[in-house]
């Protein structure tokens, strides 16, 4: 095993939360990732997708029917539990608080986005420090770049979708330019990383 692979495994071993952010062009890979999670997936998963309350979205209900994990919209003051996929509600920032609970925040949009990926990534990194795995996917603006840079500064594991494989390359490209990203992966490699997280973490239990 080379140095990079050893480093990735070492970060997975200590990880306590998985964050995923995307905007335009990211829905299909989000579906694929969530449906790929095994029933004993060992981390809580927080997902932020840019969406407005003006448009009815049934993504949580659809995925919950077909996923091996429980999939739900995050609720204010809810305690974070492993093996559950939490989606940020439309028009609210999803924040992580000390003690491992969720908070819904209606403060100003970040880069015209609420929920903002930056807000979730930064608040989770403040609480979990180096025990964060953050994944940024396709999107049409630069939200998420500052957040993933912050996760990197606190020594979390940072993963960005290869812009050449993203439907909209602006978001992953901005992250690569702004942050010291650990991994730049195509869609299949991202799925393989999720499987590796499951295998490594479950070997420790």
Sign of CA dihedral 97, 100, 106, 110: positive
Sign of CA dihedral 108, 50, 21, 24: negative
Do the beta carbons of residue 184 and residue 148 sit within 8 Å?
Answer: no
Q: Is 115 helix (H, G, I), strand (E, B) or coil?
A: coil
Q: Which residues are designated catalytic?
A: 23, 50, 143
Q: Count other Cβ atoms within 10 Å, centred on residue 18.
A: 26
């Amino acid at each position: 095993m080379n140095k990079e692979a050893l480093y990735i495994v070492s970060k997975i071993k200590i990880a306590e939360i998985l964050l995923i952010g995307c905007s335009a062009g990211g829905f299909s890979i989000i579906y694929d990732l969530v449906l790929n999670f095994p029933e004993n997936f060992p981390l809580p998963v927080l997902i932020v997708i840019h969406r407005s309350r003006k448009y009815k979205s049934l993504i949580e209900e659809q995925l919950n029917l077909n996923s091996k994990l429980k999939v739900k919209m995050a609720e204010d003051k809810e305690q974070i539990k492993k093996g559950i996929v939490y989606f940020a509600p439309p028009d609210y920032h999803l924040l992580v608080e000390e003690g491992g609970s969720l908070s819904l925040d209606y403060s100003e949009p970040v880069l015209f986005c609420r929920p903002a990926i930056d807000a979730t990534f930064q608040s989770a990194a403040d609480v979990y420090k180096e025990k964060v795995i953050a994944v940024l996917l396709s999107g049409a603006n630069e939200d998420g770049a500052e957040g993933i840079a912050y996760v990197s500064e606190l020594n979390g594991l940072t993963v960005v979708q290869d812009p050449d494989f993203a439907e909209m390359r602006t978001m992953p490209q901005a992250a690569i330019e702004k942050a010291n990203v650990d991994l730049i992966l195509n869609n299949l490699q991202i799925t393989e990383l999720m499987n590796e997280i499951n295998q490594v973490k479950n070997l420790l239990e």
